């Protein structure tokens, strides 16, 4: 979520799983998912690579080394930029590296918002949540594509967001929709 939000990402161009495939009883353990997104005004280049590590997987040692002596947290994000690195631990303030380069840098003030309070205010017609469907829909799409990619390890799946399909691997498309039981159909989703 922080990476998607901060970089204003949209639907990925491709997704690839380097982790193990799921088994018949549960999702893939130890996920390592590589996404390629179109570049945005907040990224350098025409594309941006985002990697998801899960289940004990961690960034490679060369990425960890960018944090100096700081150990990587159990949860969080590492942004590798053109002028430095930002570590964003889950539920903690960001840290900039190399530290000497950013000494004295003042972090911008972000308005405080309580998720529950914002949601209740939006229900009452007093404002908007920070994760409306215009944001959460594309974010969810990207995350779920990682789950589909885990079923096809070591295979790069090209994603056609407008057509809602993988044009280069038709067997992956069966995991994008489900057949609803009679009486439970949803118009537009079946």
Per-residue pLDDT, 59 = 94
**Rg of the chain in Å (alpha carbons):** 19
Q: What is the mean pLDDT of the chain?
A: 91
What would the pLDDT profile of 39-86 be if each residue is shown by its tens digit? 999 999 999 999 999 988 899 999 999 999 999 998 999 999 999 999
Residue 102's contacts (CB-CB under 8 Å, 6 or more residues apart) are: 84, 96
Per-residue pLDDT, 21 = 87
Per-residue pLDDT, 190 = 58
| pLDDT interval class at 173 (50, 70, 90) | very high
Of residues 14 and 133, which shows the higher confidence score? 14
d(CA 172, CA 157): 8
pTM: 0.88
d(CA 38, CA 115): 29
Of residues 102 and 19, which shows the higher confidence score? 102
Could you tell me what percent of the chain has a pLDDT over 90? 64
What would the pLDDT profile of 31-41 be if each residue is shown by its tens digit? 899 999 999 99
Using the predicted structure, report yes or no on whether residue 180 has a pLDDT greater than 90. no
d(CA 51, CA 59): 9
The length of the chain is 190
| β-strand pairing of 32-38 with 47-53 | antiparallel
Contact 3, 81 (CB under 8 A): no
What would the pLDDT profile of 91-107 be if each residue is shown by its tens digit? 889 999 999 999 999 99
Of residues 139 and 30, which shows the higher confidence score? 139
Using the predicted structure, report yes or no on whether residue 142 has a pLDDT greater than 70. yes
d(CA 31, CA 143): 12
Contact 42, 50 (CB under 8 A): no
Q: Average pLDDT for residues 159-166, to the nearest whole number?
A: 96
Take residue 41 and report the two structure tokens written for it: 């005004």
């Amino acid at each position: 979520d922080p990476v998607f939000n901060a970089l204003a990402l949209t639907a990925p161009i491709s997704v690839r799983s380097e982790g193990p495939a799921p088994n018949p009883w549960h999702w893939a353990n130890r996920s390592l998912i590589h996404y390629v997104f179109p570049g945005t005004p907040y990224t350098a280049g025409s594309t941006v690579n985002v990697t998801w590590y899960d289940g004990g997987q961690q960034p490679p040692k060369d990425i960890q080394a960018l944090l100096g002596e700081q150990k990587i947290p159990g949860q969080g994000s590492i942004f590798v930029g053109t002028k430095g690195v930002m570590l964003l631990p889950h539920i903690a303030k960001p840290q900039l590296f190399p530290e000497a380069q950013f000494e004295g840098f003042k972090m911008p003030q972000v308005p405080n918002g309580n998720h529950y309070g914002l949601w209740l205010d939006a229900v009452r017609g007093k404002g908007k949540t920070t994760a409306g469907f215009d944001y959460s829909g594309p974010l969810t799409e990207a995350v779920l594509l990682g789950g589909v990619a885990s079923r096809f390890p070591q295979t790069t799946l090209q994603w056609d967001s407008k057509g809602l399909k993988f044009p280069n691997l038709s067997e992956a498309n069966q995991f994008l929709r489900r057949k609803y039981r009679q009486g439970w159909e949803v118009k537009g989703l079946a």
